[in-house]
Amino acid sequence: MNIQENISLKNYNTFGIDVKARFFVEITGLVQLQKVLELKAYPKKFIISGGSNMLLTKDIDALVVHIKLKGISIVEENENFVEVKAMAGENWHDLVMWSLEQGFGGLENLSLIPGNVGTAPIQNIGAYGVELKDVLVSCAAMDVKTGELEGFDNEACEFGYRESIFKNEAKDKYIITSVVLKLTKKDHVLHTGYGSIENELKEKGIVHPTIRDISDAVIAIRRSKLPDPKEIGNSGSFFKNPVISQKAFDRFTKKNPNAPFYEMDDNQFKIPAGWLVEQCGFKGKRFGDAGVHEKQALVLVNHGSATGKEILDLSKKIQDEVQKTFKIKIQPEVNIIK
Ligand code: EPU
């Protein structure tokens, strides 16, 4: 086991924040992970995987455990379905591309989401009408106290919009080590209802799309408005889209008749936070190296050497302004490490 000291985490978080890990170790096997968790000399541990959904605001005075568990395998199949097990350290988009190469359907709408497999259940990643919860059978997670592996089936994960048990009761108690996903081998269920996918397919003259066509459309849409973390540091949507009651919605639409919204079950309405942030004049704005993306106001970016604190301060400024202007609270989707 190679425990390193004072390692920069700049290349381990997609925001590209340059903070240091007091200690750092890479994990490629489950037994190795159990051994690391048992190390009494390093009582504080901090788990990092794809680093795509966190904002680091200070040095991490702990043993940073970088999960590099790899492997994709088929665990069960019949003529219609296949169950695929993917280890936590696999890159999410690589898994999506692998599934398409095999002709398996279910992940195409989730193309190009940054991050690793093990982080996907924590915030129930979702895009273009599909969420991880729609395909996840179960995940395995290691109890950080006992080193024992536990299984969580779909229901036990308590998924919600950008939510799961791993962000709530089970927060910091488990390390997700693998997931099992149920994918289709034929009669794929296509989700093309999301407006921009329909337009993209229409523009290309595609009437009967394949799962690959949908993936290509999603990739084209994402590339056109979301910044590539390899080019400019970011963590995707920084805020969740706020969900408001019928009463609050009535008040809101009266004042803002042209605002976009999604109607949800039980008389609730989701308002796109990106629209709210744009209306407050933040789109494309820059404060030092911390900024708001020019094509999608929901995404905060690091133009180079912003600190986590600068990004956090900007996010608070935005929250305050949205609250003042619309009387709506927007909350970060990103995990803020203070
Ligand atoms: N909008 C604006 N200005 C902006 C951004 C958006 O007016 O700067 C408006 C758009 O015109 C549109 C509406 O807001 O009417 C919704 O925009 P969009 O379709 O781009 O989706 P979103 O609600 O902003 C959500 C997810 C994304 C996901 C897309 C597509 C959240 C917090 N974000 O964004 O997820 O890719 O839908 O499904 O739910 C992520 O989590 O990192 C992420 C990118």
Give the pLDDT means over successive 10-residue stretches in the chain (338 positions).
Answer: 96 98 98 96 95 96 97 98 98 98 98 96 96 98 96 98 95 96 98 90 96 98 95 97 97 97 92 98 98 98 98 98 98 95
Catalytic residues: 162, 237, 333
CA–centroid distance, 127 to ligand 1, in Å, is 9
Atom of ligand 1 nearest to the CA of 161: 39
Per DSSP, helices labelled H in the chain are 30-38, 92-102, 195-203, 211-225, 246-255, 273-279, 308-326
Structural domain boundaries in the chain: 4-67, 72-225, 233-337
d(CA 239, CA 244): 15
Position 265 scores a pLDDT of 84
Substitution site in 271, 298, 315, 334 for ligand 1 pocket (most atoms within 8 Å of beta carbon): 298
Q: Does domain 4-67 have CATH number 2.60.40.350?
A: no
Q: For ligand 1, say whether the CB of 293 is within 6 Å of any of its atoms.
A: no
Res 1: pLDDT: 83
Quote the pLDDT of residue 207. 94
274 CA distance to ligand 1 middle (Å)? 6
Q: Quick one: fold of 72-225?
A: 3.30.465
For residue 275, report the distance from its CA to the centre of ligand 1, in Å.
Answer: 8
DSSP E strands in the chain: the ranges are: 4-8, 20-27, 45-48, 54-56, 60-67, 72-77, 81-87, 126-127, 130-131, 136-143, 149-153, 174-184, 233-237, 243-245, 262-263, 268-270, 286-287, 290-292, 299-302, 335-337
Q: CB of 107 within 8 A of CB of 99?
A: yes
> What's the pLDDT score for residue 272?
97
Q: Does the predicted model carry a pTM greater than 0.85? A: yes
Specify the residue with its C-alpha closest to ligand 1, atom 29: 127
| DSSP helix/strand/coil, 14 | coil
Q: Are 324 and 41 in contact (CB under 8 A)?
A: no
Q: In the prediction, which pLDDT does 266 show?
A: 87
Say how many Å lie between the CA of residue 323 and the centre of ligand 1.
19
Provide the pLDDT for residue 123: 94
What tokens appear for 128 in the block? 């273009």
CATH class entry, domain 233-337: alpha beta
